[in-house]
Structure formats: structure tokens, C-alpha cells
Amino acid sequence: MKKRTVLLIGRYTKEECNLSMYKQNFFVYKIDELMDLKKIKKYDLEKIDAIAFKGHSKIDLEIMNKFPSLRIISNFGVGYDTINIDDAKKLNILVSFTPDILSDDVADMALALYLGVSRKLNNGYEWIKSGNWVSQGEMPLNKNISGSKCGILGLGRIGFEIAKRLEAFKTEIHYFSRKPKKVSSKWIYYNNPLELCTNVENLFISLKGGDSTNGFVSADFLRALGKDGIVINISRGSVIDENSLLDALESGKIYGAGLDVFLNEPRINQRFLELNNVFLQPHQASATKKTRKAMGELQFRNILNYFENGTPLTLVPELE
């Protein structure tokens, strides 16, 4: 096999990227961010056959056209909304991703956020640390979750794993997706997401990102949940109308929110930091050593398999 040239884009940890493996099989260029492309000479850009990408910058036609030899973009992660698939199609560039591997970790984080916000775990820690437990006694009561009604927006791989975990909490499962799924007959399907929100107490968002879901969770959805409602988001910050969410949290129109994703990460809206009814994490739902190592290996194998056998192992659905 002809030795190909790969460009690695992203701030990888040593677990996420086995650089020596890449160098054994390919000629390798590496940059931390897409904006660093200016550091690579035009002549060298033209030699690049594949991109291994980890990041949140947009890769569109303008960027792709800088690489006339490019045949595949291998994305690190299950979300690939930053890569314009239509533009890739125009240029006959394949796009792969790393599904399934991270589903368990992300679902685990969803439940952690759920417990964190409902039982006010941050508040409890601060109650001890501040001395309030000694001076004021018990902290204010919070919200139980066992036996509640939970809605899942988007019953894909991760949404399904969230639902399975919620069953252990004696939860009544409601879900929205484009069509009914082959799941337990006890799970209740909706083709109208607003109707779903009207009939549940808590909402788990597991939608894919991109233009089709931008601001999908609107003020109407939050109003339908009501003052005892909890919102959990482990998908993309863009799927929620973030200002409406902040307004609802500040005014007490919903009970709280557990969030691992935001708009404009990592420079999130400072209004979140003034709230005591949120449980926040820095977009790290899949960030365990075991999972990130497996994601990096699949990202590499997608490129290798493409050049050895003509197809990546996990092509994005739009290109299958």
C-alpha cells in the first residue's frame, strides 16, 4: 500500500491518540486547532490524504478545498455536526465517526447530572463547607426522582442507554423520535416533542447537533415541563434555546438543569454561574481513559481501513 499522508487536528491526550501508530503507517502532520492550518505550506496541504479531527471548529467546503488529495475525514466522537456532510459529498470525501464506544459513559453522566441537580449535590457540599450544617442544621429539602416520568428527546444509541438506566429508578419512560423504536411496550412514544414535555416531569436531551436541531428545545418546551421539571442535556448546547433556559432557571419556572454542554464552549454564559439550581460539567461525558482510548483507536482504524479496504469501519449514516 502506498504510504499516505494524514493530518491530525486537535488537542489529543496521550490516551486518545497513539501518535507512534500513525507514524508507523502514514506520513503525519499535526496541529492543535483548525486555525493553525496557516502554519502548513500550501504544497504540504495538497499532499494530505486524510484528516483525523477532534474539535468543534467548522469544516466546510472552503476548508475542504484546501486539500485536493483529501479522501476521508475521521471524526473523534459521535457528534459530527461541525463537518458539513453535504460539502463532503460534493468532493467525494468520506466522513467517519466513533459511535457506540462512548454510549455507556455518556448515559452514566446523564444520570449523574440527574442526581446532581435533583438532590442538589453541589449545594450539599457547600452546606458542609460553609459551616451551615453546624450553624443552621439540615439544608432545605430537595426533589426525589424514583418513580418519576421522564421524557427522552432522541432515542438513538445514547438515549436508549439513558432509558435503560432510568428503568432502575422505577421510571416511566416516554420518548420522542422520528419514528417508533423496537423497545419495551411499556415505553410511550410521541411524534410531537411538545406533547411529550407536557406529559413528563423531567426531560433528557439526546439529539444530534446541527442546523436541524438548533434551538429545538424552546421556551414552550420548558413551560410545558413546569416548575418541578428538570432538564438534562448531554448532546449539544445548540439544541436548547439557551437564553430561554436561563430565564426559566432564574425565575424558578423549572426546578433545575444538569448540563454537560453549552453554547460557546468553553466561554459559557456567565449567568449559569450565578444559579444554585444547576449541576454543570465541562463537556466531559465521554472523558474516561478507557473510552477515549477506544475512540482514538477507532478513529485511527477508520483511516487505515479506508486505505487498505476502500471503506472506513464506521461511516456516518448520511454516506452509507
38-62 confidence digits (pLDDT tens): 999 999 999 999 999 999 899 999 9
Please report the DSSP string for the chain in residue order: -PPEEEEEES---TTT--HHHHHHHEEEEEESSGGGGGGS-HHHHTT--EEEE-SSS-B-HHHHTT-TT--EEEESSS--TTB-HHHHHHTT-EEE---STTHHHHHHHHHHHHHHHHTTHHHHHHHHHTTHHHHH-SPPP----TT-EEEEE--SHHHHHHHHHHHTTTPEEEEE-SS--S--TTSEEES-HHHHHHT-SEEEE----SGGGTT-B-HHHHHHH-TT-EEEE-S-GGGB-HHHHHHHHHHTSSSEEEES--TTTTS--GGGGG-SSEEE--S-TT--HHHHHHHHHHHHHHHHHHHHHSS-SSB-GGG-
Region for 165 from its dihedrals, namely left if φ exceeds 0, alpha if ψ lies in -120 to 50, beta otherwise: alpha
pLDDT of residue 1: 65
pLDDT mean over 194-200: 98
Rounded alpha-carbon distances, angstroms, from residue 224 to 33, 77, 169, 227: 40, 32, 23, 9
User: How far apart (Å, rounded) are the C-alpha atoms in residues 81 and 245?
Assistant: 22
Any idea which residue has 442544621 for its cell? 137
pLDDT-derived band of residue 2, with 50, 70 and 90 as boundaries?
confident
Report the catalytic residues.
Answer: 236, 265, 283
203 and 249 co-located in one domain: yes
User: How far apart (Å, rounded) are the C-alpha atoms in residues 74 and 16?
Assistant: 13
92 and 178 co-located in one domain: no
133 and 29 co-located in one domain: no
134 and 164 co-located in one domain: yes
143 and 275 co-located in one domain: yes
311 and 234 co-located in one domain: no
| Segments forming the whole domain that contains residue 110 | 103-280
- At 273-313, the pLDDT tens digits run 999 999 999 999 999 999 999 999 999 999 999 999 999 99
Average pLDDT value for the chain: 97
User: How far apart (Å, rounded) are the C-alpha atoms in residues 56 and 38?
Assistant: 18
Q: Which one, of 263, 271, 219, lies nearest residue 245 by Cα? A: 219
pLDDT-derived band of residue 320, with 50, 70 and 90 as boundaries?
confident
Whether residue 83 contacts residue 107, with contact meaning beta carbons closer than 8 Å, is answered with no
177 and 314 co-located in one domain: no
Angle 279-285-287 (CA atoms, 0-180°, nearest 5)? 130
19 and 157 co-located in one domain: no
pLDDT-derived band of residue 200, with 50, 70 and 90 as boundaries?
very high
Please report the DSSP string for 223-270 in residue order: HHH-TT-EEEE-S-GGGB-HHHHHHHHHHTSSSEEEES--TTTTS--G
- At 238-280, the pLDDT tens digits run 999 999 999 999 999 999 999 999 999 999 999 999 999 999 9
User: How far apart (Å, rounded) are the C-alpha atoms in residues 296 and 278?
Assistant: 31
94 and 109 co-located in one domain: no
pLDDT of residue 147: 97
pLDDT of residue 179: 94
pLDDT above 80 for 187: yes
pLDDT above 70 for 190: yes
269 and 123 co-located in one domain: yes
**Stated pTM of the model:** 0.94
pLDDT of residue 167: 97
134 and 72 co-located in one domain: no
pLDDT above 80 for 79: yes
Question: Tell me, what CATH number does 294's domain have?
Answer: 3.40.50.720
pLDDT-derived band of residue 98, with 50, 70 and 90 as boundaries?
very high
pLDDT above 80 for 141: yes
120 and 254 co-located in one domain: yes
